Amino acid sequence: MCSNHIGPTYTLLIIDPCVYLFMERNHVIVVVLGLIVCVALFFIVDIYASLIALILVIALAMSFFIMEDSVMTPDLVVTLKEDARGIVVRNRGNAKALSIRLTLIPHDLTYSIPVLEEDDHTGFATDSMIERVKVMAEYKNEKGNSYEKTFTLSPLDRPEEDILKPAFPMFKWK
């Protein structure tokens, strides 16, 4: 049996209308043009070239979805200073963090930061060394979405860095 046609391939070429809600217009145009090239390769060259191109188009569409998911998301990290006489607030995200409010529990200290740019940091000093503290951070992004994070800090503990956490916020890991 010698056939170049494998199953119903037309179902792969249908674009769902809800995709337009999640992707920018330019990205949709690139993906549709890639699918048209896949169909042209299927009829002009062979099925294997079209399937290779289809895999590349799917990878491109996935990267567009990841890119759209990670836009405008600040990611605050609060750590202790080396001498444990203060805290450092760092924005590792890709958007400004606005209206930042930090509360140190049980020290009953509250700090406010109006704006923290991307990849920027600021520090606050305390009167005495911090033995163990819980920091509650509340902040917003430029769109007005609110975020809350809680950090437990101690100079003797290892940092709470998760080695599996992405380098920038994506897949709703916020």
Considering only CA atoms, give the Rg of the chain: 24
For the chain, report the end-to-end CA distance as a whole number of angstroms. Answer: 52
* Per-residue pLDDT reduced to its tens digit, 113-141: 899 888 888 888 888 888 888 889 999 88
pLDDT of residue 127: 83
* Residue-level pLDDT at 57: 93
Q: Are residues 17 and 86 in the same domain?
A: no
What pLDDT, on the 0 to 100 scale, is given for residue 2?
46
Domain assignment present for 140: yes
Which amino acid, residue 131? E
What is the per-residue pLDDT for 20? 46
The secondary structure of residue 118, as a DSSP letter, is: T
Q: What is the value of pTM for the model shown?
A: 0.60
- 120 in the same domain as 88: yes
Number of structural domains (the chain) is 2
Assign residue 131 the CATH number of its domain: 2.60.40.2890
- Say yes or no: 148 and 80 in one domain: yes
For residues 101 and 112, the answer to whether their CB atoms sit within 8 Å is yes
- Cα 7 to Cα 153: distance, rounded to the nearest angstrom: 57
Q: Which domain holds residue 37?
A: 9-69
Residue 85 banded pLDDT, cuts 50, 70, 90: confident
Binned at pLDDT 50, 70 and 90, residue 7 comes out as very low
Residue 141 domain-assigned (yes or no):
yes
Domain membership flag for residue 173: no
156 by Cβ neighbours in 10 Å (0-12 / 13-18 / 19+) ranks as exposed
The answer as to whether 2 is a domain residue is no
Q: Which amino acid is at 69?
A: D
What is the band of 54 on the pLDDT scale with cuts at 50, 70, 90? very high
Residue owning tokens 């920027």: 120
CA within 13 Å, CB half, 65: 12
